[in-house]
Amino acid sequence: MKNALKFYIDGKWVEPSTTATIDVINPSNEEAFAKIALGTAADVDKAVKAARKAFPGFMAMSKKDRLDLLNAVIAQYEKRIDDLAHAISQEMGAPLAFAKESQVGIGMAHLKKMAETLKTFEFEKAKGTAMIRREPIGVVGLITPWNWPLNQITCKVAPALASGCTMVLKPSEVAPLNAVIFAEIMDAAGVPAGVFNLVNGDGPTVGQAMSAHPDIDMMSFTGSTRAGILVAKAAADTVKRVSQELGGKSANILFPDVDLEMAVTKGVQGCYGNSGQSCNAPTRMFVPRERMSEAAKYAKAAAEKFIVGAADAPGTMLGPVVSQIQFDKIQNLIESGIKEGADLVTGGPGRPAGLNRGYYVKPTVFANVQPHMRIAQEEIFGPVLSIMGYEVLDDAISEANNTVYGLASYLQAKDRAKAREVAKLMRSGNVYINYPTWDAGLPFGGYKQSGNGREYAEYGIEDFTEIKGIAGYEAA
């Protein structure tokens, strides 16, 4: 990849300020297959200056012109679908079909939804004799994670473009190559110089420099709660807006009237999607206590159908997790579940049989998990499901909300009216009833330590804009 060792700044591929690099590791075999440059504060400053210079002109661009630009990005994205899929499959271990259909596909969905949204979005509204305007907040810093890289890049870049902001993107250094291709897409689409800038690097250096930079007006961050706190602290001195989508420990409540086999099977599938590396994965399954053994039996059967293997191996359903750090964290939590007395139903420590190299995790299910256990409290970010029992539904609701996180909740019930009532009680930014189809038009974000702000569609545009009230706009 010719541009992997460069940054995209002010409409050009430029050399970094230093020669420092980092290897990109293929988690399927633990081998380095590419290198990227590591940026510094000097590179960030150069990118921010380009974005600041471009802002007045881009802010003044008409909505129609910004819509045309979004459609041009969509057209170029379409041309690079295979390149994006192969990059993501190699750098984060996603099976190739999943990388193409889901990882790359979700990015396209966000771009198209934003173009659709922008057509009818009203940036000005009359209120009596006043005018209420939404105006671009300015230069935005975007920090995106490795687990759904194109999802997070597009659901930040698209509303920034739509609202008239200029931007600096720092993707995860763990899975950065898809972002390099995305920068090539932006360039090919004719995005004006300085509107979109890409600087690769790590959080303590590039992320910190962006968060503290006085000429960045807003930080939009997706990642761990720990790192999100550091971004917010660094941003505090310049009183910039900080929008965050952070960790999760989502509950999946199976009501007493549910078809248990179907609900458990789909719950396992939801938990294990993307090798369990989703912040909103339904990792805590609540079932009526008297049906615990039945639920465990169904979960075991569902989990053991998942074929674990290399991203490019035929038939692979679960690829590796992304890194040695993630692998070690997951193994530690699985060991803690056993030590603390949860019932190991299937899976467990170590790699699956025959997979001695690569960051492969056994699809794991624990039953009779108690609320105090680490596997019930901590975000595991791997294919590990914790099944917890409840006596009455109110107990399940209370325990589901008993977490520092609040990103998503899942409810499975035949009585949909009851589910709708319970949805109002869940302390999470999203509630999903009976495993619905994903919708790019819903607001996405969390309560509590799962973050603040909302992404997707018009909610993304609103996040990237300031509200201005102009009194006396019309004669009284």
Residues noted as catalytic = 245, 279
> How does strand 364-367 pair with strand 343-346?
antiparallel
Burial grade of 437 (CB within 10 A; 0-12, 13-18, 19 or more): exposed
List, as own/partner pairs, every contact residues 256-261 make where C-beta atoms lie below 8 angstroms and the sequence separation is at least 24, other chains included. Answer: 256/288, 256/393, 257/413, 257/414, 257/415, 258/412, 258/413, 258/414, 259/414, 260/287, 260/291, 260/294, 260/295, 260/298, 261/298
Residue given tokens 């907040």 in the structure block: 137
What number of residues does the chain have? 476
Cα 375 to chain centroid, rounded: 21
Which amino acid appears at position 345 of this protein?
A: V
Q: In angstroms, rounded to a whole number, what is the distance separating the alpha carbons of residues 79 and 83? A: 9
From the CB of residue 425, how many other CB atoms can be counted at a distance below 10 Å?
Answer: 13
Helix/strand/coil (H/E/C) assignment for every residue in 384-415 = EEEEEEECCHHHHHHHHCCCCCCCEEEEECCC
Q: In angstroms, rounded to a whole number, what is the distance separating the alpha carbons of residues 179 and 442? A: 25
Structure tokens at 9: 């700044």
Fill in the DSSP letter of residue 476. Answer: -
Could you write out the DSSP letters of every residue in 215-262?
T--EEEEES-HHHHHHHHHHHHTTT-EEEEE----EEEEE-TTS-HHH
Give how far Cα 322 sits from Cα of 218, 325, 394, Å: 29, 8, 37
Q: In angstroms, rounded to a whole number, what is the distance separating the alpha carbons of residues 445 and 434? A: 20
3-class DSSP assignment, residue 9: strand
Give how far Cα 344 sits from Cα of 227, 297, 347, 363, Å: 31, 12, 7, 11
3-class DSSP assignment, residue 197: strand
Q: In angstroms, rounded to a whole number, what is the distance separating the alpha carbons of residues 256 and 422? A: 13
Residue given tokens 């012109």 in the structure block: 65
From the CB of residue 178, how many other CB atoms can be counted at a distance below 10 Å?
Answer: 30
Give how far Cα 92 sits from Cα of 27, 77, 87, 282, Å: 6, 20, 8, 21
Q: How many CA atoms lie within 13 A of 422 on its CB side?
A: 27
